[in-house]
Structures are given as structure tokens and as C-alpha cells.
Structure 1
Amino acid sequence: MRLNLLTLLLFFIITANYSCKNKTNMNDNNPLLQPFNTPHQTAPFDKISEDHFMPAFELAMKEGRDEIAAIINNPEPPTFENTIEALEKSGERLDRISNIFFNLNAAETNEKIQSIAREVSPMLSEYSNDIWLNEKLFAKVKTVYDQYHTSPALTEEQHKLLEDTYKSFTRRGALLSGDEKEKYREISAELSKLSLQFGENVLAETNDFKLHITNPEDLAGLPQDVIDAAALKAKNENLEGWIFTLHFPSYFPFMKFADNRELRKKMYMAYTTRGNKGNNRDNKEIIKKIVALRLEKAKLLGYNNHAEYVLSERMAKTPDRVNRFLQELLEASLPFAQKEVKEVEDFARKTGFKDTLQRWDFAYYSEKLKTARYNISDEMTKPYFQLEKVKEGIFDLTNRLYGITFKRNSDIPVYHDEVEAYEAYDADGSFLAVLYLDFFPREGKQGGAWMTSYLDQHIENGKDIRPHISVVTNFTRPTESKPSLLTFNEVTTFLHEFGHALHGMLSRVTYESLSGTSVFRDFVELPSQIMENWAQQKEWLHMVAKHYETGETIPDELVDKIVAAGNFQSGYATVRQISFGLNDMAWHTLEEPIATDVTNFEKSAMQPTELFPDVEGTCMSTAFSHIFNGGYAAGYYGYKWAEVLDAHAFQLFKQNGIFDRKTAQAFRENILEKGGTKDPMELYIAFRGEEPSIDALLIRCGLKN
């Protein structure tokens, strides 16, 4: 039984006007409740409608309750098999339905799905609490734990599952008293609703803003492909001119290239005030409630704050260690960041800029400085990074490292006609995984990029059940005249998410709850971030970068410039990430609900990293979905933490050869295949032979000699 963010179990609902006969008929025709007669038993997206979800949840819920009841009522003495393994395997159908539903809510949502999500989420929370707070069930789990947690009769993976199961109960309130358990239930239900509402507000605010330009002069400075994309957007909405949005492929190039400063400011203000406009989508009070409830829950469980609760199950272990880590990075990077901002300001002044350098100016003049210093820009490199060629290059990279091949299968149903489905095969020709790729922004898709799963790898009745993995991005769309051409940042994003996908696809464990990316949050970014390193390697760039019109390989001169510019403003980028980590930690180390307003609290938390004048009305927290509508609360530092790991780990590839199969095999066997079966540091040392040092990251970023 896996009770993660996507697979929380659902409370059984029976509506007054829904007869048993109607339910039976509905269930007989419900594709979610029938065997998936598809390649590799993939989700039958072509047959699923929104109306299928609630009946499917209901029946799956009943099955789950029956399975839990069977464990509790088993007259035999509790054993690992009849309690821990039985608990692990319960709710399998509910897992599949939950994964399908919540992944759709992230990648292809609509008002109906969002309405179901709002109804289902507190029910999921309530039902999961019915398990974690069940005294009879916990008594059986504790009996097994007391008897077996030091027993040589269990395998290493069985020990890990037992340990994780027992901790999951204690961390979710099993040791609380009756009244405390009821309070825990109330908090959990309210948090699930608030988190969903936060995400819906951010998505709505992102979708609602459109900068409609009708004067061609306002397009000055913008690359032609960006203009073409904006024209196509306007055409699709039956409007003249050009439309720019807050979706990243539209917003980011506008901020980097548009000469019109007032329009840059307008875009910036729209982006940075999402959830902070005082309207019905304002997230400030939601943040206060989320933070207060997380604090209350942590204290209920015996912790001083939410970060303490979260970090007790992370590599970092304590808030103090996280804050020391962030401070150490800040001390190393801040002088570089301050120098870099000053360089951009000086450069702007040389071009005639006379005002104070504001946040909506930095990307614009930074790009011009980069072009002047290295004679390189996104517009010079994009023609060589056609999405299809980059995809082939990443496929080829994984083949060189791990022997994996990919074959597109159009018979696998997909949830949108833009989604591509592939079969992945191992070096010996055996089937490895299903891979979905979903590249372009849509109004029903959340912003950003992520990897997720519809089915995780595990062993069932002696058979290795292979995973169904999805990579979702918001890359630059093709236009009427050009294919999708990626910025260098989008290339590294693709590599990053593909690293997560490999973590899921290459899993070789027994239990689903220990599979793939089911690892500590500050370790999960290692497989993804190490893949980004290949974007700076000449050998790989020569293989992947082909001009979309001529097929010409990217010139050596341009590759040298990409590599030379690799650490351009790395101090600034580091400080920016640290600022997000400090903000996250400030929210989650509170030991009392905040008395100040959200924007002032945020300013205080991020002040040590501040490099620009304050802009009234802006607030990043009100759209900080990672921590208020995702799994990174008290964990955003994990991106930098994992960078330390990946910088140190990649040194071995540099030493032995970036395509060295032996090194890759060691990474696969010790990291990618192991999931959460061992402590992360044990896995890392097994691969690298030693613990990582922060110096490797500082040296790679040019912040230390």
C-alpha cells in the first residue's frame, strides 16, 4: 500500500440518488474498473471520461477497506507476510486510479477534474487517516516490528520496508490519544483542500493574463520565432497582432529580449503578483492557514516545527544543518553575485541606460552582456537544438551509458494528441518501461517541468512489473514556419527530467513503496541533476546539436562558447536558489503562527540574498507551488544539496570518460536500481567510494579555485 501524494486513499461515498443497480451498470462499463486491455496494461486514456472517476474511486475504496479489514481480522499471529507485505499490497487498484486522476489534474485538467479533486482530496486524507490511526492495525504492525526489526530472518529490503511502515504509522499519528487523533484528522483534511486551492489559484492567474500587442514597434528586440509564436497565439484566439502570456516559453524570452521597458515591467508585475492581488484568487491567507496547520500538526506529533518533522526523514536531518548548509553556500556565492549584478549595471550604463537597474531589467541586460562577452546567445544556439534531435540525442546518451533503446508505440493510448508514448528496452532486449513525453504548454497544464509515474516497478507473484513513467514539460512550441527549437536552458531541463525518468525506469526492487524515486527528497535530485552535466560536454553536444535546416553539426567555435559561458553568473544563480531555500525554511521553522503579513515575512526571510530594490506588490510565496502545492515543503534546499552530490559524482565520469559504460553501470546498480531500499548515503558511498564535499560544487560553478 503506497500512501504518497498521488495515491492517498479515498473515503467511500454513496449518494442518495445513486442506486446499487445503477452503480453496477456503471462499473461494468467503467474502463477504470476493467482489465486494461492495452499494450503493457497502460491507462486506457482513450476510453476514460471524467464521469468514470468517482464510481471507480468508490469501488476501489471498498476493495481497499476489505483488504485492510482482512489484515486486522486475520486470526493468525502477526507476521511480516500477513501484516507488512499484505499492507504493502493493499489498495493496488486505488493506486492506479489515483495516479491516473492526479496526473491528469496536473497535465490536462479542466473545471470538472478540478471539482472532483476538491471533493476527493479531503476524502483521501480521511481514508488514509483511517489506516494510520487504526489502533488494531498499528498493534499488529508494532508486534511485527518488535519481533523482526533486528531479525536476520528478513532480507535487507524487507527490513527497510518494515522500518518505513512502522515509521509511517508513528509519523502519521498512530501514537496519539483519541482527541489528538481527531484533531490530526481535521488538520489533514483541511491541508489537502488548501493545497489544491493554492495550485488552482496559481494556474488560473497564470492563464488569465495576456499581453495583447497590436503595434509592431512594441516587438522590437524580440527574436522572430518568439514573435511568430505570439502571432500564432493571437491567431488561435481570433485576434489581430500578438499575444504574450505568463507561460515560461512566452514570458522568459520576452523578459530577455523585449526592448520596451514598460512592457517588460508589465509582464514582470503580472508574473510576480500572481496570488497577491487581493481578489478571489489571492493566496496570502491560504499560505497563513497552510503554515499554521503544518505547525500545529508537527507539534501534535512532538516536533517544534514542520521543518523538524520533515527533516527527520531526510539526509540533512535537522533545520540547523540545512540553514548552515545554505549559509555556507551564501557566503561563498554572494560576493560573486554582487559583482555580477554590478557588471550588468555597468554594462547597461555603457549602452545609455540611466535609471536604477530593476528586476525587469536584469535578464534583458544580462543577455546582452553574455552576448557581448562570449558572442553567444539563445538565438545563436536554438537552431541547433531542434526538439526532435535533442530527444534523439538524449535517447542515444542513455543507450551509450546503459544500453537502453526506445521505440515509439502509437497503440499506447495517451491523454492528449501531443503526448508521445514509447517502449523502453534494456541492453538484453527485455522490456524495461513505458515512457510518456508531453512537451508543450496548454491552459490545462501546470507550469514548469516534472517527472511522474502511472505505475511504479515492483515484484508481484514473482513477476517483475515494469513501470509507466511520464516526463511533462512546457517547452517552446513549433510555429507555422519552424519546428520546436529549444533554448539551452530547455535542453538542460529535458536532461534533468530524463534523469528522474531513468530513476523510475531502471528500478529493480521488490516493493512498490521503495521503488524508483521513492527516496529522500534531498537525494531524489541526484539522478536528475547529474544528467545536466552532459549539456556542458563537447562530445555530447557535437552528437546532439544539428541545425534544423541544414543538418550541419554545431560548429566547434559555438560549442567552445557554450562551455565557456557555462558559469556565466553562476554566483547570481546560486544566490537566487538559496533565496528560495531560505524562504521555504523560514515558513517551516516557525514555532508560532506569523503575526505579520505574508509579503513582509517573505522580505525578511530573503533579505540576506537581496540584490535589487524592493518592488511593491510582488510576492514569490503566493505562487511558490513547490512548497505550498507540492512535495518540497522544508525541502527546497534539496536542489542545492543534490548539486553537491551530482558535482562530486560526475567527477568520476570526467575521470573515466563521460560515456564510460563501467562507471554508468556502477551508477545504475548502486543508485538508479536501488530506489529507497537503503539509506541514501550508503548508496552514494557504494557508488563513489566516499562522502561528497561542497568543494566539488563550488569548483564546478567557478566559485572556488
Structure 2
Amino acid sequence: MQNPLLLDALAQPLPAFDAIRPEHAEPALDEVLARNRAELEQLLARNEAPTWDTLIEPLEDMSDRIQRAWGPVSHLFSVVSTADWRRAYNACLPKLTEYSVEVSQSEPLFRAYEALAASAEYQRYGAVRRKVIADALRDFRLSGIALPAAEKARYKDISLRLSELQTKFEENLMDAIQAWGKHVEDEALLAGMTDAAKQAARARAEAKGLKGYWLTLDFPSYDAVISYADHRELRRELYEAFATRASDHGPQAGQFDNGALMEEILALRHELARLLGYANYAELSLATKMAESPDEVERFLVDLAQRAKPRAQADLDELRAFARERDGLDDFAPWDAAYYSEKLKEQKLGLSDEELRPYFAFDRVVRGMFDVVQRLYGIGIDKVDGIATWHADVSTYVLKDGDGVPFGLFYLDPYARAEKRSGAWMDECINRRRTPGGVQQPVAYLTCNFTPPLPGQPALLTHDEVVTLFHEFGHGLHHLLTRVDEASVAGIHGVAWDAVELPSQFMENWCYDAATLKHFARHWQSGAPMPEELLGKLRQSRSFHAGLGTVRQLEFALFDLRLHRDFDPARKSEHGARVLELLDRVRDEVAVMKPPAFNRMPWSFSHIFAGGYAAGYYSYKWAEVLSADAFAAFEESEFSPEIGYRFRDTILAQGGSKDAMDLFVEFRGRKPSIDALLRHNGLGETA
């Protein structure tokens, strides 16, 4: 049973996850799409001049109806990706894509928006409603509204095919991860790995009816080997399997190969951009972002690379020298990097991830994260029971304002498991909007893939996992703390993609803040706070090998940008040859250590081939500039409460209702500076 008091307070029904079945998905979506089409036809048949109430509000109702039918299907496809849910998702997706293109290319609807923008009523609208209409007119143009009939049809065909290809890319990657495993019977092979990691591997083996240990490519299992296993050949074996996922190389060569999908995705994106009058897909991608041109983005990335590369080379030289001195290793390889980095960090800082882990019991970290947010933004967060979820590990939390009135809810799904997409993400369940019945309050999904708790103890997180949790909750707060009443610019809607990471990366800063850590970093058994010495080492670790981490992200970002900017449709390429050639050139320019020839990173780069980051991966680095500069405002004010409220009211509450740069300037009093990022990462001396 769902909690009726909570539902009354939030003023909308939540998905009944205990009753949703894959076989219900397609009929439910068919019904919604048919109803929407009929209502849209009636709406556009009116002869009267359009107004906000007669045009925008009905369209928002239709959009909300689709979100409630499709949202749970899309979510369950990611977190319970059984064969049945895949069939349901793949049956629904083409229908939804076709409907979306149909609406976005409706000339009568476009003309209605134009008429509203030219009306006397429009002149009385505030900035928020004007932005809703301006964004809609822009999106019509980006959907090919001005194209001739034949080219419109081609746009639709491309859109349908791209949705199919991108879904298949993600499915191949999930299948490749699930299909690979290594059975280890001799515990000596796992020397160096933590007891917790070995217990988790033993539990996976037992679940398969096997003795010994079972290693997988889910990140917690992979990281436990690549960062800690003394056995170098075991590290190399897992590195090769991980680096060749869903590709034409490695232990699963050709079984789930994404190579042909990448080529077709790139070709179709380029064709789509040219149809719309852009020179390449990168230009099209930036049409909805803060950056003005691909060349501007490239200059930003190259400049940062020039600052970071000398530091990265020094980091690598130190790591190689350490491996040589410690173990006589003269052929340092990528599968050695994480292992020796952990050993060097332990020697240099007296710090290891495993030494930190006992201080990061999952429930205490969650509570500590809530305490930060409650202090910063003047809200309350409480766990609630009686709400249906899709798995026993999932919990639900309600957000309350200073008067104790609920205004949002989120689901937290923390642990890795079979048939769950890897990685971590936030997604919307329900969006905020004002309706005749009152305000519809927002609901979010927060999904991670941490190692589940072992018997007799709580789940213990690495510090990296703590950072991941705070990051995703930052996205969630952007969605949940919005005070915008128009759905299309509330929360993360209408926010420039290269600014959408600002709230999430801002939250990461608190994972290194001494006062915050003292509050929640306590030993799971004794309850003792993290010792001052250990706390200091953790804060120092933020800049440990920051050069290597920075050039790695810049490699991904430059590769993505140039891949979409420089695509040549006249050049035929098979098996991802052009992709690898470009990646090699980027690595020659940016990287300080090149991986082996079998490495197939792009084949699993779902951010750009299956997610929303195509020609936009640079957003992570750009948002780091924004978030570091925003956090610097807190440092400069000595963490004045007023600064927290201002961040809430300018960045978080206003969502996409204003231009992202205008909101940042409203908060900071000026445009962003890179100085704080360089200082936080210890790269200032390379400037």
C-alpha cells in the first residue's frame, strides 16, 4: 500500500511499482498517444487566437500524461533490465519517438506558437513564460519545421533510427558486462584485495552455486581487482575484458560489437545536422548550450590541457619511478596505474581507500548528506515507508520546507545487481508544474551501483562512492528545489546542457570539507569520528595525481567534440577505424600514457553514443569551472548561511527559467573564473 497521507501532501499519484508489468507498457502508451493526438487535433482546430491557457496549458497536460506512462517504463528498463522489460521498452520507444517528431514538426502548432508570441497578451507575460515560448520556437526550428516535406520525412526516419541504435548500443554494453565472469578457486590469486571485496566475490560465486570467487565487470568488482590485486596477470586480464566491452576485440570479440552502431550513429547525426543547416553535429549540439561554437569549446579544452599536461607527466613519471623502485617494474602498463597509484598514495600521504571505507557507512553518509543540504537550504528530509518500489533495496524520502510542508520526493536505489545498468544517474519521475488543482510537486530517481552490504555490517563506501552519491543528489536537488511553475523550464528542464552539471559538481565539494566530514565520517563500529590526521590526508588527496585525472577527462571531451565536428561522410570506415584514428590523435596531443592497441574505449562510451552528451562531454569540465567558482563564494564568505540561500534561490530554484550564464552572474556577481578550479586541483602552478 502506498502512503495516502504523503500522496495527499504531494498532490499527485506516484507510480505503482508493485503493480506495473511489462505487458502493460505498450497498451498504456498507445492509449495515451491516441488521446493526445485527438486532443491536439481539437486544440488546433479552434479558430480563436491562442492564449497561454488555451495552448500551453493543454500541451503541458499532454506532456505530463506521456511522462507518467513512459517514465516508469524507461526507468525500469535501466534498473530491472530483464528480457521482458527490454521487449516492452523497445516496443514503446519507436512509437514515442514518432509521436515526438510528429508534434515537433506540426506546422499548425508552430503557427499557433508564433501567433501567441506576436499577440498583445504575450507583451504582458513575465520572463518565465516568454522563455517557455522562445525555447519552444527554437526547438521547432531544431526539429526541422522549416524543411520541405521530403526532408521532414527524412528527419523523422533518422530520428527513429537513432533512437533504435542508441538503445541497442546500451543493451550491447549491458549484455557484455553481464556475460563476462571469472571463476577463481584459489584465494591466493586474490592477494592484495580487501576482505570485503573477497567476501563480495565469494557471495557472487555462492549465488551461482560455485565454490571460490566470482569476478565480474560491474565496476565495484572490477575496481577491487584493478586497484588492489597484487597478481599482475589477473589485473591485465580484467583490464582487457573491461577495455574491450561490446567490441571486436578481447574475450568477447564480436559477440556484442558496437562498432557498426557507432559508425551509423555518427553518420546519421551528421546528416541530421546538415538537414537543419548546420555544418556538423557539434554545431547543432551547441545550439542549446552555453558555449557559442565548437571552436570556443576546443580552445577551452586545449588551454586546460596545456595547463594540466606538465603536471600529468610529472604524476606519471613519479608513478613509474615508484613501481620500478618498489617492484622492479620496467614495463609499466595501464593495468598497473590504479594499483600503484593506491600504493603510492598510501606511502606518500599515509592514506588508502580501505582505511577510509570504515568511516563511510552508507546510512550515515546519506544522513550526513541530508544534514548538509538542510543546513545550506533550510529544508528537511525524512525517510518514508509504505511507497511501492521496484526492489527491496530502494528507499524513499520526502523533502519539506521550513514549515514542515512536503514539496518533493525521491527514490534512492544504491546498490549494484544483475540486470541493472552500470553507472550512476538522476532522472525525473514527476516534474513540478502548477495546475488548476494546485502545484504538482517534483519526484526524482537517484540510482547508483555501490557494493551491497555484507552480512553483519552496513554497506561501506569508498570516498569516490561518497563523491558519486553527493554528485547525483546535486542533480536531484536541481530537480526537486525548483520553484518554477511552468513545467518546460522547471528543475533541469530548459537548462543549458553545459550548465546542468553545476549543481551536481558543486555538491562534490562538501565531500572534502572538513566540518562536513567531521559530522558524518564516523567509524561504523565504534562511532568514533575520523581522526584529524586522516581527515587532513583525505583533503590532501583531492589534488593527488590531479594532472592525470584532468587529462583523462580532457581526452574524452576533445575526442567527443572532434568526433562530431570533423565527421566526413564521404570517407568510408569499417570496424570503427576512423574513431580509433581520431582518438589516437587526441591522445597524442593530450594524454601522457597511451593504452594498448586492443583498447576499445569508444565502444563502451555510452555517454555520447547512448546518452545525452554527444558533442557535449566537455560539459563536465566546464561545469567544474562553474562549481569550483561557486564553492569559492562559500569559502570567501566563511560559509555564511546567506550564501547557501542565495545559491538555492538563484541556481537551484530558478531551473531553466533564465539563461544559465545570467543565473550564475546573479549568484556570483560576475562571470565564472577558472582560478578556483586550478586551486582546488592543485594545478595553479601550471597556469
Report if the CA contact (8 A) 2:564-2:615 is conserved.
yes
- In 2, the alpha carbon distance for the partners of 1:92 and 1:349 equals 60
Aligned pairs (5 A) from 1:282-681: 282-461=257-436, 463-518=438-493, 519-593=495-569, 594-596=571-573, 597=577, 598-658=579-639, 660-681=640-661
State yes or no: 1:694 paired with 2:674: yes
State yes or no: 1:115 paired with 2:95: no
Report if the CA contact (8 A) 1:698-1:704 is conserved.
yes
| Range with bigger deviation, 135-144 or 49-58 | 135-144
- In 2, the alpha carbon distance for the partners of 1:70 and 1:503 equals 35
Which residue of 202, 217, 238 corresponds with 1:267? 238
Offset at 1:317?
A: 1.9
Offset at 1:609?
A: 2.1
Which residue of 93, 97, 101 corresponds with 2:65? 93
Match of 1:258, as an amino acid?
A
SS of the residue corresponding to residue 48 of structure 2 reads coil
Offset at 1:592?
A: 2.0
Report if the CA contact (8 A) 2:637-2:643 is conserved.
yes
| Number of residue pairs aligned between Structure 1 and Structure 2 | 669
- In 2, the alpha carbon distance for the partners of 1:38 and 1:685 equals 35
- In 1, the alpha carbon distance for the partners of 2:641 and 2:8 equals 37
| Range with bigger deviation, 359-368 or 602-611 | 602-611
Report if the CA contact (8 A) 1:516-1:672 is conserved.
yes
Which residue of 191, 196, 206 corresponds with 2:177? 206
State yes or no: 1:685 paired with 2:671: no
- In 2, the alpha carbon distance for the partners of 1:404 and 1:253 equals 37
- In 2, the alpha carbon distance for the partners of 1:668 and 1:510 equals 16
Could you state the TM-score of these two structures normalised by the residue count of structure 1? Answer: 0.93
Offset at 1:601?
A: 3.3
- In 2, the alpha carbon distance for the partners of 1:245 and 1:254 equals 10
Report if the CA contact (8 A) 1:107-1:445 is conserved.
yes
- In 1, the alpha carbon distance for the partners of 2:106 and 2:586 equals 40
Q: What is residue 279 of structure 1 aligned with on the other side? A: 254
- In 1, the alpha carbon distance for the partners of 2:56 and 2:381 equals 36
Aligned pairs (5 A) from 1:99-178: 99-147=71-119, 151-178=122-149
- In 1, the alpha carbon distance for the partners of 2:288 and 2:120 equals 21
- In 1, the alpha carbon distance for the partners of 2:367 and 2:275 equals 51
Match of 2:672, as an amino acid?
P
Match of 1:283, as an amino acid?
N
- In 2, the alpha carbon distance for the partners of 1:559 and 1:134 equals 58
Offset at 1:199?
A: 0.2
SS of the residue corresponding to residue 437 of structure 1 reads strand
- In 2, the alpha carbon distance for the partners of 1:219 and 1:112 equals 37
Match of 1:652, as an amino acid?
A
1:195-230 deviation line (CA, Å, top 9, x unaligned):
000000000001111121111110111111111111
- In 2, the alpha carbon distance for the partners of 1:557 and 1:538 equals 11
Give the share of equivalent positions with the same residue, in percent. 37
1:524-560 deviation line (CA, Å, top 9, x unaligned):
1111111111111111111011101111111111101
Q: What is residue 215 of structure 1 aligned with on the other side? A: 186
SS of the residue corresponding to residue 100 of structure 2 reads helix
| Range with bigger deviation, 77-86 or 629-638 | 77-86
Report if the CA contact (8 A) 2:9-2:406 is conserved.
no
Quick one: structure 1 residues 481 and 261, their matched pair in 2 at CA, closer, same or farther if it must change by over 3 Å?
farther
Offset at 1:71?
A: 2.0
1:14-64 deviation line (CA, Å, top 9, x unaligned):
xxxxxxxxxxxxxxxxx9xxxx99985111111111111111011111111
Offset at 1:84?
A: 3.3
Offset at 1:485?
A: 0.6
SS of the residue corresponding to residue 18 of structure 2 reads coil
- In 1, the alpha carbon distance for the partners of 2:513 and 2:481 equals 24
Report if the CA contact (8 A) 1:534-1:540 is conserved.
yes
1:242-290 deviation line (CA, Å, top 9, x unaligned):
1111111111121110001111011001011012124241001100000
1:498-549 deviation line (CA, Å, top 9, x unaligned):
1111111101112111111121111011111111111111111110111011
State yes or no: 1:74 paired with 2:54: no
Match of 1:607, as an amino acid?
D
- In 1, the alpha carbon distance for the partners of 2:374 and 2:310 equals 41
- In 1, the alpha carbon distance for the partners of 2:394 and 2:110 equals 43
Offset at 1:611?
A: 2.2
Offset at 1:408?
A: 1.7
Q: What is residue 56 of structure 2 aligned with on the other side? A: 84
Offset at 1:481?
A: 4.1
Offset at 1:462?
A: 5.9
Match of 2:667, as an amino acid?
F
Match of 1:158, as an amino acid?
R
Offset at 1:591?
A: 4.3
SS of the residue corresponding to residue 499 of structure 2 reads coil
Offset at 1:428?
A: 1.6
SS of the residue corresponding to residue 598 of structure 2 reads coil
Report if the CA contact (8 A) 1:438-1:471 is conserved.
yes
Match of 2:558, as an amino acid?
L
Offset at 1:98?
A: 1.0
Match of 1:276, as an amino acid?
S
- In 2, the alpha carbon distance for the partners of 1:558 and 1:616 equals 40
1:153-188 deviation line (CA, Å, top 9, x unaligned):
111111000101111111101110011011111101
SS of the residue corresponding to residue 560 of structure 1 reads helix
Q: What is residue 30 of structure 2 aligned with on the other side? A: 58
Report if the CA contact (8 A) 1:458-1:508 is conserved.
no
Report if the CA contact (8 A) 1:38-1:412 is conserved.
no
1:440-494 deviation line (CA, Å, top 9, x unaligned):
0112211111111110111111612111111100112111243211101001111
Quick one: structure 1 residues 613 and 591, their matched pair in 2 at CA, closer, same or farther if it must change by over 3 Å?
closer
Which residue of 196, 202, 209 corresponds with 1:231? 202
SS of the residue corresponding to residue 497 of structure 2 reads coil
- In 1, the alpha carbon distance for the partners of 2:430 and 2:232 equals 47
Report if the CA contact (8 A) 2:49-2:115 is conserved.
no
Offset at 1:313?
A: 1.4
Report if the CA contact (8 A) 2:412-2:447 is conserved.
yes
Q: What is residue 16 of structure 1 aligned with on the other side? A: none
- In 1, the alpha carbon distance for the partners of 2:609 and 2:415 equals 24
SS of the residue corresponding to residue 671 of structure 1 reads helix
Report if the CA contact (8 A) 1:385-1:546 is conserved.
yes
Match of 1:571, as an amino acid?
G
Which residue of 233, 249, 253 corresponds with 2:220? 249
Could you state the TM-score of these two structures normalised by the residue count of structure 2? Answer: 0.95
1:91-135 deviation line (CA, Å, top 9, x unaligned):
422211111110111122211111122222222221111111122
